[in-house]
Structure 1
Amino acid sequence: MPSEQWTHPEPGDGPAAVAAQPSPEQVIAGLRATSEGGAELTQLLTPEGERVPSPQFDKYVEDIDAEALRGLYRDMVLVRRADREANAMQRQGQLGIWVPLLGQEAAQIGSGRALKPNDMAFPSYREHGVAYARGVDMKDLLGIFRCTDHSGWDYQRHGFHPYTIVIGNQVLNAAGYAMGQKFEGKVGDDDGEATIVYFGDGATSQGDVHEGFVWAAVYDAPLVFFCQNNQWAISEPTERQSRLPLYQRARGYGFPGIRVDGNDVLACLAVSRWALDECRHGNGPVLIEAFTYRMDAHTTTDDPTRYRLSDELEEWKLKDPIERVRAYLARNGHADQAFFDSVQAEADSFAADLREYTFNMPEPPPERIFSNVYAEGNPVLEAQREEFLSYLDGFVSAGEH
């Protein structure tokens, strides 16, 4: 069986490592080689909380004063606390599954806050922070993972599409929606509309994503492809999926790509605003690769200790998206301990409210599974509904005798 190329160095950097499976040393070496995202990484706030000037992107965050940055910090703390609570509730049997976002708060809040009211977001199944930024009640997310609902929010009012479980399928949906925006003349100026679609690094290996790239490029659709590269597609690292950094793939389709520090909420906000602005003015699609890290399991059915090393996790803890904002606020006198304590107390209350709601969530009636399948009545579906309810009634009647 031929050996499998594991790493793909630049020309002149020496031979690639080959192995059927990567050694621990190769995994760590690959991580360290890209741990800061490379020379073209866009960063405005370092892991130590120091502001990095950017001639290209500073203008997109000129309105982010101390108060606004405190707001972004609060967003991330609340979203992380809700995520941790949901994770715990799944372990207690209250949710069927949970998809953690731990470590990706900056990518989601930064990009989510960049959207305007008339924009549309297409998530995968991990974008709880984007949902929060779009005004979706996080209680409405929990029904999906408790298996009592498909989605409990008005996606048109919030500009936030229902979650998509099939890997990469939302990219095609988003491409079609953005093409519609273009065909209806909703682009071309500051008041134009744009669409953003979220997917992970693993989804870039799916055909749907590449088809979305093609259609968006051909029709200059106002679509931002937002790839949260958390470096692990379940148990497969990014190195096994691409010879090049993911953002460079955009060149093959004829539109710009950019890599941003996905743990830097300020940079994610600035880059997303720039990309959405490009789209709403009719300049076609943009690919953003938010270089981040999944600090928890892929889902609660996953055990990440089976395929990645603790060294890797410890390294990324030093790049925590929340801590760098906290350090910046504290260092510059924009927030004191009382502020941080108040945010934590609010987050605990927020989580307690979600917990109480989940534990007391009513079970939907069995006939609900047949609702909202079609926009109008359907005789075949109605016949199936009556047959199913009659079948259930048979158990009740049998129990009475």
Structure 2
Amino acid sequence: MPSKKKILILGGGFGGMHVLKELQKKIDVKNASITIVSEDNYFLYTPMLPEVASGMLNPRDITTAIRYFCVSAKFYQATVFSVDLEQKLVTITRKFDGKDHALEYDYLVLAVGSINNFFGNKAIEENSFTIKTVEDAIELRNQILLMMEIAAQTGSMGLQQKFLTFTVVGAGFAGVETIGEINHFVRKSVKQAYPSIVDTNINMILISSRNEILPELNKKLGESARAYLEKVGVRIITNVKAINAGESYVELSDGEIIPCTTLIWTGGVTTNSMIKSMNCEHSKDGKILVDKYLKLKEHSEVFALGDCAAIPDVDTGKFYPPTAQHALRESKIVAENIKKTLDGDSSLKEFSYHSKGMMATIGDKAGVASLMGHSISGVLAWVIWRTYYLLHLPTLETKIRIGISWAINLFFGTDLTRIGETKMKNLHKVEIDDTPSLKDQLLSDL
């Protein structure tokens, strides 16, 4: 009897999770085993992170346990330490006690996403919040609530203004949606429950290094979004960069220093060091270069997709953008090509996809959308955004939860509960009498 082929998926985001789902539908467990590795034990629906930061949604609403999707697959919650393409070995590190474990594979799927890029600016990295993980959203929400509580207790208008100045750096989708959500949340909360706060002391600032916002959309929609944000009290500063920051200020490249205690960084992402260290061909920004079948040229058993992959678009001569909708389509191609390879079918499927549109929410019942060549803004775009994402949530439970949360927020005030600090225990030293080698661990659990 031929041995089972081992399929290993690294990453539990949009790309990795949908490869897992597709493979479990296509592959007989008698012929292959599937293992997925992720640092978190849940799949995160990232487009709705700004709504968690504003309290519109609860963290549980946009997270689903990875084990929920593991019908026949095995799951490890761990950090990927290294990938040895020659030996077909992946070393992972368990977060709880730092124990290493080796996994071997016949087919490898790389979908580990990206990390925040601060462009080497340590001051900004140390003094800013980010909005990439669910923990980020919780921390940002707690910070916003804390600033409102402190501002309500000071009689100094100067201090109140500093505490209520929120600066977002980066005017792409993440930055615009974040400033839109925060602006609505803070202004609504102040009217609802903070009578000692002067409304004119609320300052919402969006920093763009370009002469526009939402460069992913067309110029008309970008201008529409800018007009709306300025109308609801957001100051937009263009053609500048944030170059320095402290606990209570951010400095811009034009010399302006903005007094603020909350700086939010959405200025870019980069490839993580593990991907950059792999012994294979990379693009200029460190992503893994793949062919039209989403395989590595030097290692046909290795596939890559999502943020960590440089996927050439033959029509434009550029690389496909790292968006969730592209990752979903890429995952289907990866799963289908692994299935074909297992079956001995050499007619692999090429990846080709043209975006059907892009959308963003920009505030209370307001959005912008470019769909099938049509530009839509206002309430209709907001409704389309909500409908699309509600329909594409991974489970019926999350659809119901988010639908209920949205309905509650239409009729009731905002939740102003601030969750306190949490404690997590780690094991820094574990006594093991007989530690097997990495090779010996291949057939054993952690």
TM-score by length of 1: 0.29
Q: Which structure: greater helix fraction? A: 1
Q: Which structure: greater strand fraction? A: 2
